């Protein structure tokens, strides 16, 4: 069953319905669901769908020809093998349909790897012929560095030819939780905190089993599909995997500032910057800056925090990677009981903050907040506050700080993924963190609900909003 991706499908279908030729590049990290999306898009359309493989150029051309034969296009009935790629790509013009003639080439970078002239061949064909026809070309790939730095770069022949470029990202939580409809609301969010929004990972879990059993069966058990996933992905995308393992593990264990990662890994400063940049490019790591940061601070490598974008990577390095010896010896129960069971909710608190921020942006899109928020994120830093009638410098950490574009209205958010109800002491602590002049609203997010005192307070104060887990999940 195909789940989600309404935005991506609309993008492709709108292009397909246009009254001119379309040249689309669709890309994203491995396992994010690109091929599945393309299959869903193409299922009711007449098209040529070819997946490149790691072949020689001659073998690739023969394989493409064989695929054309499978579509029974009369013009190529007696062609044993196309003589060149120009003739091969031109085959799209011979598709018999009254609608757009559609050619999809998946894993396109594989073909370019052994024949660097392919982009140039396609560029000439597009300029001289295809752009004047009712055709749609989709090039798809997972090699993000190649696509961004080579295929879409100014020096590449295809630069400026595309009519659309779409970088696919992992699913939002609202779609991801649809993979386990029979889980409790809590377990839906825990599963998302473990797996993230990558469809391939999400499909490994079954809500016929408990969350614990799913983790044991599908992540911790040697030989299961996700057991070697992290190692496989790093080796596919990067060299020096031992160095990247060290960096990613350091971040997963809470070393988030550049200086902390530098200290933990003992790498050279200049080299660490390059390694982090590479991890960001393949969507494993992201650099997080506090809300209200200037563009200059955001671009500074040594400022801000580095966090793992991928929830599954974070789970693997937090719990499995350091227990590999036990897992290799099939001590799955021991690893669960000793390392994971009592720490899972604490682990999920960081993804929960991201979920709550996503929740606010969904409301924002529907104009269901008191004002339009802009560049919301976590906040941390020093500020001055009056304490005992004296101005003092204090360190502040705020789970969510969401300003409007003019910085006159602010939402302060507190996210609690614990087994205790949100109480008045926690609300007052959040209120004490207000350091900006303007209209202030408090959004309280809680796994375990709210005390009666907090509920009563919120009922009397319009600027205080209580958000339960069921509220969050109901948007899915």
Q: What is the CATH number of the domain that holds 193?
A: 1.10.10.10
Indicate the residue among 342, 369, 403 that finishes a domain.
342
pLDDT of residue 426: 98
Q: What is the mean pLDDT of the chain?
A: 95
Return the number of other C-beta atoms located less than 10 Å from residue 453's C-beta: 13
pLDDT of residue 186: 98
Q: Are residues 321 and 381 in the same domain?
A: no
Classify residue 356: in a domain, yes or no: yes
Q: Are residues 235 and 333 in the same domain?
A: yes
Classify residue 201: in a domain, yes or no: yes
Give the pLDDT band of residue 302 (cuts 50, 70, 90).
confident
The answer on pLDDT for 433 being more than 70 is: yes
Give the pLDDT band of residue 74 (cuts 50, 70, 90).
confident
Q: Are residues 415 and 386 in the same domain?
A: yes
Q: Are residues 132 and 104 in the same domain?
A: yes
Q: Are residues 235 and 276 in the same domain?
A: yes
pLDDT tens-place string over residues 321-345: 999 999 999 999 999 999 999 999 9
Classify residue 374: in a domain, yes or no: yes
pLDDT tens-place string over residues 131-156: 999 999 999 999 888 899 899 999 99
Structural domain total, the chain:
3
pLDDT of residue 185: 98
Classify residue 1: in a domain, yes or no: no
pLDDT of residue 178: 98
pLDDT of residue 145: 83
Classify residue 40: in a domain, yes or no: yes
Residue 132: CATH number of its domain: 3.40.50.300
Range in 29-33, 67-71, 284-288, 316-320 the model is least confident about: 67-71
pLDDT of residue 227: 97
Classify residue 98: in a domain, yes or no: yes
pLDDT tens-place string over residues 363-411: 999 999 999 999 999 999 887 776 667 777 888 999 999 999 999 999 9
Indicate the residue among 284, 319, 342 that finishes a domain.
342
Q: Are residues 15 and 119 in the same domain?
A: yes
Q: Are residues 469 and 338 in the same domain?
A: no
Residue 458: CATH number of its domain: 3.40.1350.10
Q: Are residues 357 and 299 in the same domain?
A: no
Indicate the residue among 321, 342, 363 that finishes a domain.
342
Classify residue 262: in a domain, yes or no: yes
Q: Are residues 323 and 413 in the same domain?
A: no
Q: Are residues 334 and 363 in the same domain?
A: no
pLDDT of residue 373: 98
Classify residue 16: in a domain, yes or no: yes
pLDDT of residue 386: 67
The answer on pLDDT for 465 being more than 70 is: yes
pLDDT of residue 75: 76
Q: Are residues 194 and 330 in the same domain?
A: yes
Mean pLDDT throughout 34-45?
Answer: 97
Q: In terms of residue numbers, what domain contains 209?
A: 174-342
Q: Are residues 152 and 276 in the same domain?
A: no
């Amino acid at each position: 069953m195909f789940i989600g991706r309404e935005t991506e499908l609309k993008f492709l279908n709108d292009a397909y319905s246009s009254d001119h030729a379309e040249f689309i590049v669709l890309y994203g990290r491995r396992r994010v669901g690109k091929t599945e999306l393309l299959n869903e898009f193409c299922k009711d359309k007449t098209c040529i769908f070819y997946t490149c493989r790691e072949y020689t150029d001659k073998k690739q051309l023969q394989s493409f020809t064989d695929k054309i034969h499978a579509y029974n296009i009369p013009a190529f009935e007696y062609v044993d093998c196309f003589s060149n790629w120009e003739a091969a790509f031109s085959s799209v013009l011979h598709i018999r349909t009254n609608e757009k003639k559609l050619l999809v080439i998946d894993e396109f970078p594989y073909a370019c790897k052994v024949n660097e002239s392919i982009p140039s061949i396609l560029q000439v064909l597009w300029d001289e012929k295809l752009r004047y026809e009712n055709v749609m070309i989709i090039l798809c790939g997972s090699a993000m560095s190649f696509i961004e730095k080579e295929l879409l770069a100014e020096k590449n022949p295809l630069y400026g030819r595309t009519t659309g470029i779409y970088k696919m990202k992992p699913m939002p939580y609202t779609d991801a939780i649809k993979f386990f409809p029979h889980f409790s609301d809590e377990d839906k969010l825990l599963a998302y905190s473990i797996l993230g929004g990558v469809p391939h990972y999400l499909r490994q879990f079954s809500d016929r089993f408990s969350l614990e059993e799913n983790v044991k069966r599908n992540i911790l058990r040697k030989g299961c599909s996700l057991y070697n996933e992290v190692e496989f992905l790093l080796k596919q995308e990067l060299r020096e995997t031992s160095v990247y393992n060290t960096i990613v593990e350091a971040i997963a264990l809470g070393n988030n500032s550049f200086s902390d990662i530098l200290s933990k890994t003992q790498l050279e400063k200049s080299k660490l910057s390059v390694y982090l940049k590479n991890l960001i490019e393949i969507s494993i790591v992201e650099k997080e800056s506090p809300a209200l940061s200037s563009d200059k601070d955001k671009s500074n490598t040594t400022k801000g925090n580095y966090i793992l974008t991928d929830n599954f990577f974070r789970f693997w390095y937090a719990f499995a990677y350091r227990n590999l010896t036990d897992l290799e010896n099939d001590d799955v129960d021991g690893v669960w009981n000793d390392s994971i069971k009592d720490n899972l909710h604490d682990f999920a608190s960081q993804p929960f903050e991201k979920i709550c921020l996503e929740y606010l942006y969904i409301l924002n899109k529907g104009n269901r907040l008191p004002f339009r928020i802009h560049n919301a994120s976590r906040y941390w830093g020093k500020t001055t506050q009056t304490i005992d009638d004296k101005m003092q410098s204090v360190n502040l950490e705020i789970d969510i700080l969401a300003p409007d574009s003019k910085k006159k209205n602010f939402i302060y958010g507190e996210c609690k993924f614990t087994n205790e109800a949100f109480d008045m002491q926690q609300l007052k602590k959040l209120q004490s963190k207000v350091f900006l002049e303007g209209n202030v609203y408090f959004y309280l997010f809680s796994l375990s609900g709210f005390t009666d005192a907090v509920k009563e307070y919120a009922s009397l104060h319009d600027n205080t909003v209580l958000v339960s887990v069921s509220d969050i999940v109901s948007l899915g």
